């Protein structure tokens, strides 16, 4: 049986022992229904799948005897649908869902840097770096329409790293710290790329990134006396006053 132009196919296994082998030149199948293929091979040139079932497994006899659920959509079936791979717009939409993770990890790195050094970063500097990270996704979408998503991701990552590297060189007073942050941004972009391309283990990979980031922050700040940051400010804010200075009814 040759079929063409079929978006999905469902076959109810009504035999005592049913087998079905399906071959297609479409490389993106989605196997549905109550029975998954016993064997399947998927490649860039297409796929081949083989289903097996018995009369006892599909329980059709009881369904026919009861007279209920007689609609074909309610019967167990061998089912497959052809799917279209995500385009650059869908991939960019998925990428933006990880934007909060990327920006949060970057700001956390800045906070740790402020904590470990005497240098302080102004909120405006946080804002500018955050805007550059947001601009990464706009640049990604614009480039992907002309170059493809993978090339656009590489170009956008390099441009973002170059912008932040030059800016942070002046902010952090040196190339050494600037290069460390630039390499960290490129590493985060690589991690985000891994999350996009690992649909089956995206949650595991994302959780691992958060655990590693938290563990790293705990390690580098383990010897910091957090009260020491607030006590000097509290002492400086307390002015020595006399009783007369506190009287407002003089």
- pLDDT tens digit sequence for 2-61: 777 677 888 888 777 888 898 888 888 888 877 888 888 888 888 899 988 877 767 666
Q: Cβ neighbours of residue 44 under 8 Å, at least 6 residues apart?
A: 27
pLDDT, the chain, mean: 79
pLDDT at 155: 93
Residue 232's pLDDT band, with cuts at 50, 70 and 90, is: low
**Alpha carbons 66 and 80: distance in angstroms, whole number:** 28
How far CA 199 is from CA of 81, 149, 193, 195, 203, in Å, comes to 19, 16, 11, 7, 8
**Alpha carbons 138 and 245: distance in angstroms, whole number:** 58
Give the neighbor-by-neighbor strand order of the sheet with 29-33: 8-11, 78-82, 29-33
Longest dimension (CA), the chain: 105
Answering whether pTM is above 0.95, one says no
């Amino acid at each position: 049986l040759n079929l063409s132009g079929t978006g999905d196919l469902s076959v109810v296994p009504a035999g005592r022992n049913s087998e079905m082998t399906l071959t297609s030149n479409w490389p993106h199948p989605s196997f549905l229904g109550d029975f998954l293929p016993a064997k399947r091979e998927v490649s860039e040139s297409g796929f081949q799948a083989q289903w097996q079932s018995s009369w006892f497994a599909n329980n059709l006899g009881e369904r026919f005897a009861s007279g209920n659920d007689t609609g074909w959509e309610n019967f167990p079936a061998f089912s497959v649908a052809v799917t279209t791979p995500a385009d650059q717009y869908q991939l960019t939409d998925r990428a933006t869902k990880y934007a909060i993770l990327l920006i949060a990890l970057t700001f956390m790195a800045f906070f740790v840097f402020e904590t470990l050094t005497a240098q302080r970063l102004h909120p405006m500097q946080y804002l500018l770096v955050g805007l550059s990270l947001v601009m990464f996704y706009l640049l990604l979408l614009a480039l992907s329409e002309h170059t493809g998503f993978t090339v656009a991701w590489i170009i956008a990552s390099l441009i973002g790293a170059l912008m932040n590297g030059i800016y942070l060189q002046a902010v952090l007073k040196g190339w050494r710290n600037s290069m460390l942050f630039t390499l960290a941004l490129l590493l985060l972009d690589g991690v985000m790329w891994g999350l996009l391309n690992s649909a089956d283990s995206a949650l595991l990979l994302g959780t691992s990134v958060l655990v590693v980031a938290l563990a790293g922050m705990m390690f580098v700040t383990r010897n910091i006396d957090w009260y020491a940051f607030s006590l000097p400010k509290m002492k400086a804010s307390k002015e020595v006053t006399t009783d007369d200075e506190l009287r407002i009814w003089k």
